[in-house]
Structure 1
């Protein structure tokens, strides 16, 4: 959630309810980190976003792993879809309302365009 919160484009994709939930969740996590660990560390290491005060970027916020498999469902028939960039795998026919376990990076544009829903 920290990654989404710090990326304006991703944050703006969330509904108001999702933004409210994500904000509350990150606040709870920050409070937990502060009470359980960060308050016991030297000042220069008290950030949940940076390894130390000399870090220029939020190096403690992991980027999402786009190579992870997700469960998804196509909203309509999309026909043959190439899942890998190399072209070594056969294309998959994405049928309406069928469930698939696919790598997120392969279907990211379809998710963003609203053609596929994550389940």
Structure 2
């Protein structure tokens, strides 16, 4: 079997990619962004679907290569690359589940944030909230005065949902600029900074939140 007859495109840019980076490189960046961001980010639907489909396809190709003894080294290389991609995929999904567990009430209470979840993540969040709520009521809330018994509101005197753990959007983050954006407002006082491709910043996450969503920056 000629090795050129077998495609293995995790090391290349996929046809659906417009960034010039391979799907594996994009997944690595998505994982890094997710780990560094205080909030849960938009689920990478198209990227994850392509990777899962490609994993299945490459598994089939490797099985064909195994029939040829001369391809043993190539098979080991391909298996190593597949293992790397699967590790990145599992890590990406695991980090997101950890964020859902940490901020489940905040996520479910905010339609815009909840919309960032995949269908499976949304179901996990609902199921987790039911279990978490039952446990909290049994363990603590049922023993508190009525004004403090809600999982989401401390008391009627405090209309804000101050018992809901929420991500700290004002914490600082390291980022790299991927696209020239010119002058960008970086704080509430109206101070601006020049965002040029390749620049590195230590900056409050809130200031680059939208730029991250647009793919103009990546977190480090």
The TM-score by the shorter chain falls in which range?
0.5 to 0.7
TM-score normalized by structure 1?
Answer: 0.65
What does residue 104 of structure 1 align with? 205
What does residue 111 of structure 2 align with? 8
Q: Is the 8 A contact 2:179 2:216 kept in 1?
A: no
Q: Is the 8 A contact 1:80 1:94 kept in 2?
A: no
SS of the residue corresponding to residue 48 of structure 1 reads coil
Gaps of 5+ in 1: none
| Cα distance in 2 between the residues matched to 1:47 and 1:77 | 45
Matched, 1:39 2:173: no
Gaps of 5+ in 2: 1-102
TM-score normalized by structure 2?
Answer: 0.40
CA apart distance, 1:38: 0.8
Give the paired residue count.
114
Q: Is the 8 A contact 2:180 2:195 kept in 1?
A: no
Question: Going by fraction, where is strand more abundant, 1 or 2?
Answer: 1
Computing the radius of gyration from Cα coordinates, the structure with the larger value is 2
Where does structure 1 differ by over 4 angstroms across 4 or more consecutive aligned residues? 53-57, 71-74, 98-101
CA apart distance, 1:46: 1.6
What does residue 55 of structure 2 align with? none
Aligned partner (choices 180, 188, 208) of residue 78 of structure 1: 180
Residues 86 and 105 of structure 1: CA distance in aligned 2, closer, same or farther (over 3 Å): same
SS of the residue corresponding to residue 70 of structure 1 reads strand
CA apart distance, 1:8: 0.8
Question: Going by fraction, where is helix more abundant, 1 or 2?
Answer: 2
Residues 8 and 71 of structure 1: CA distance in aligned 2, closer, same or farther (over 3 Å): same
